[in-house]
Chain A
Amino acid sequence: MWSHFSKSAPGTTSGGEAPYAHVLQPRQVDVSHGVILYLEEVAVSFDGFKALRGLSLSIDDGELRCIIGPNGAGKTTMMDCITGKTRPDSGSIFFGQGMDLTRMNEPEIASAGIGRKFQKPTVFEHHTVFDNLELARKQDKRVRRSLTSHQASEARDQVCETMKRIGLAGHADLAAGTLSHGQKQWLEIGMLLMQGPRLLLLDEPVAGMTDDETERTAELFLSLAGEHSLIVVEHDMAFVARIARTVTVLHEGCVLAEGSLDVVQNDQRVVEVYLGR
């Protein structure tokens, strides 16, 4: 394990070469306490509207956590905070023991090992499936390297393997824009895998998938857990039931209940929230 006090010095938030230091000397996330992500008292407000109010959460290393909650509960906002898209007004977010995510920008956080799938599938529509995955592959992502990089054969193999895994093996040269909605979802998941992250954030991953695809996704996630940590936000309760070990219920920007699916489903307050006040 590397010492974590040397990296992400406060102040080197945006720009600068610092964010890529990890590529040259790989820096591991310190999970010595078995926890990969801490959120403490995170609060965010938009023009006075409080989207998150004192949200606290911790995710264990290798855990698969499902997060549910009614529309507008703040699930996506929480992910925005973790990935650096939104800066919390107060509170702290730590990746492992020492990495303060509130001081890092998006590319830095991504390079540190957090991958994210958006609620609306976003892929590079004008690039081929192959290029999409290749671009996502874990590598030095600085400009300098991009000018000189050659495609190594191992990279090619890695992409091929991922394509098989996400069921797009025959579509390497197809422009991503021509894929179906479900295929785009898969492609995006594939890109996350190529990124080789420690923690995956998945916002409604099975929206727009057939039952069959949903089932395969569930299997994939279950196989990923352990090696990776996953946070899955989903409205589809059948899917949640299929994969869930621990479920967290968000409501109006803070945690309402947490526990196994059975426990939270029988929680009086959760029932109230879902069935209406």
Chain B
Amino acid sequence: MCFCARANLDQALILKLAAQDSDEQIEAIHLLGSSGLGEALQVLKALSEGGLSVVPEQVFFFRGTQAIDAATGQVLPQAPENADTVIINNRVRAELEETLAGLKLLDADPEIRRRAALSLLNSPAAQQLPLIQKALARETDSGIRHLLEQTAAILNIQSPDVTVRLKAVQLLGQSNRANTRNVLQSILAAQTEPDENVRKAIQTALKSINNRLTLTEFLASMFTGISLGSILMLTALGLAITYGVMGVINMAHGEFLMVGAYATYAMQGWFRSHASLDQDAYLLAAIPAAFLAAALVGMALERTVVRWLYGRPLETLLATWGLSLALIQSARLLFGAQNVELANPSWMSGTLLLPWGLELPWNRMVIIGFSVLVLMLVWLMMNQTRMGLYVRAVTQNRPMAGCMGIHTGRIDTLAFGLGAGIAGLGGVALSQVTNVGPDMGQSYIVDSFMVVVLGGVGQLAGAVWAALGLGIATKFLEGWVGAVIAKIVVLVFIIVFIQRRPQGLFALKGRSVDLGG
């Protein structure tokens, strides 16, 4: 803590920290905290870690083996005997943590300051006001300044001084956070504001916030919807290929996601054990690894099981379900039943701040970009390569394709591998946003089936649109009615939709429709 000259803390205050009465303790904590001094921070930290000891008339803590007087900061020649540890109850602890968090506003690292300012803005506390003022006085980063000003304004709105209140309201009017809006609304609702002008100002402020917020919220929902949709798309794309080519509903498809995710995990482990490698690059290396791992598993399953069940869709469904059970259990035995954790590479962590207060997490942006890339590759592959031509030929008319000399069996295996591989890529993406566990695939399988059903069986374009539509619809609904109801509403919608258009959004053309089902 280098930003202030050595200063002595008030001995009386320090002693109060060790008082029996928790109110007194809290008062001392607040006072120490608002001083903003480095020494105060040290003492409070020691208190929070249970390292503050007290003998009559002296409070001290240890730094390494040295005992240090809390008030003076001097190293004591020897630690006093028979010291008691200062004990705090839960209420005091909560206040202490809050104060400690506030003190981070004065940290040297701008990132820490920014985070502290953000958390303060989300739960501002009146006693932090002096600290905020202090921090504002020396803050140079404009982004952090803005956050601090907003926090101060939220607190100032309770000020007895009309001009201060008015200024605060005007400042808040520039905000674009839902929180701020709630604060202003609650003041209006409680009818505690005595001054006519301030009330008017609040209304104008609310209006301008609302204008900006609707757009922001809309964009934010859109964004999370697209990012969910892009993962669904990666899952459903593979499913659409396998269903399209072989008319096979593969219940083990979700497990390819899981295989891809664990491949990513394994890659991370390998990079960690080779310290010379750039750790952030593990994710890039994981992409081919996950694709290959999932594709190999997929092809193996196709060769050994799925192949023998063509033309018996219901049996295939059951057999692949059995395979998925076995895959899940294998993952449990290999990697443990617990979820494993994957670290975002540094270039994927953090958020991109856009105007209007839009905050886009980098990992989700990367995932969207990645999905688009995969989609383009798949599209190119299906439309521009020989393999794609064969796959499409087999999709449309298997016997005829066979007569033309296409090895339909080999195409089946390859297409199945391709579908599985794409799901594996989905697993890479998923590992960056959720937990990786043995049964992670299960929670996506119902959704991705719905995508396929909605999009029209075997239709790549259908799968893409349906995935995006479902993702976005889910996220918007979540905003209104909560996650569970949103999911139910979407499922019910699909069930109703299928009634109207059994062939899905994009019907397969030709007579094969009749044979479906």
Q: Is A47 an interface residue (CB 8 A)?
A: yes
Smallest CB separation, B240 vs chain A (Å) = 19
Q: Interface 1/0s, chain B 476-517, versus A by CB < 8 A?
A: 000000000000000000000000000000010100000000
Summarize B's interface: helix, strand, loop or mixed: loop
- Give the complex CA separation of A46 and B507 in angstroms: 11
When distances are taken between beta carbons in the complex, the residues of chain A under 8 Å from B509 are 46-47
When distances are taken between beta carbons in the complex, the residues of chain B under 8 Å from A46 are 509
Beta-carbon nearest neighbor of B508 in chain A: A47
Smallest CB separation, A84 vs chain B (Å) = 15
When distances are taken between beta carbons in the complex, the residues of chain A under 8 Å from B507 are 47
Smallest CB separation, B142 vs chain A (Å) = 58
Beta-carbon nearest neighbor of A48 in chain B: B509
For the A-B complex, the count of residue pairs with Cβ-Cβ distances under 8 Å equals 3
Smallest CB separation, B232 vs chain A (Å) = 27
- Give the complex CA separation of A47 and B507 in angstroms: 9
When distances are taken between beta carbons in the complex, the residues of chain B under 8 Å from A47 are 507, 509
- Give the complex CA separation of A46 and B509 in angstroms: 8
Q: Interface 1/0s, chain A 46-59, versus B by CB < 8 A?
A: 11000000000000
**Interface residues in B, total, Cβ within 8 A:** 2
Q: Interface 1/0s, chain A 32-47, versus B by CB < 8 A?
A: 0000000000000011
- Give the complex CA separation of A193 and B507 in angstroms: 37
Beta-carbon nearest neighbor of A85 in chain B: B514
- Give the complex CA separation of A47 and B509 in angstroms: 7
Q: Interface 1/0s, chain B 142-166, versus A by CB < 8 A?
A: 0000000000000000000000000
Beta-carbon nearest neighbor of A49 in chain B: B509
Smallest CB separation, A62 vs chain B (Å) = 33
Beta-carbon nearest neighbor of B513 in chain A: A46
Smallest CB separation, B208 vs chain A (Å) = 51
- Give the complex CA separation of A143 and B302 in angstroms: 43
Smallest CB separation, A112 vs chain B (Å) = 24
Smallest CB separation, B517 vs chain A (Å) = 15
Smallest CB separation, B101 vs chain A (Å) = 63
- Give the complex CA separation of A68 and B371 in angstroms: 53
Smallest CB separation, A231 vs chain B (Å) = 22
- Give the complex CA separation of A47 and B506 in angstroms: 11
- Give the complex CA separation of A206 and B509 in angstroms: 30
Smallest CB separation, A79 vs chain B (Å) = 14
- Give the complex CA separation of A46 and B510 in angstroms: 8
Contacting B at CB under 8 A, from A3-51, are: 46-47
Smallest CB separation, A14 vs chain B (Å) = 12
- Give the complex CA separation of A47 and B511 in angstroms: 11
Q: Interface 1/0s, chain B 67-87, versus A by CB < 8 A?
A: 000000000000000000000
Smallest CB separation, B514 vs chain A (Å) = 9
Smallest CB separation, A15 vs chain B (Å) = 13
Smallest CB separation, B475 vs chain A (Å) = 33
- Give the complex CA separation of A19 and B507 in angstroms: 31
Smallest CB separation, A120 vs chain B (Å) = 11
- Give the complex CA separation of A66 and B509 in angstroms: 30
Smallest CB separation, A116 vs chain B (Å) = 15
Smallest CB separation, A202 vs chain B (Å) = 20
Interface residues of B (CB under 8 A from A): 507, 509
A-B residue pairs in contact (CB < 8 Å), sample of 3: A46-B509, A47-B507, A47-B509
The 3 closest A-B pairs by CB, nearest first: A47-B509, A47-B507, A46-B509
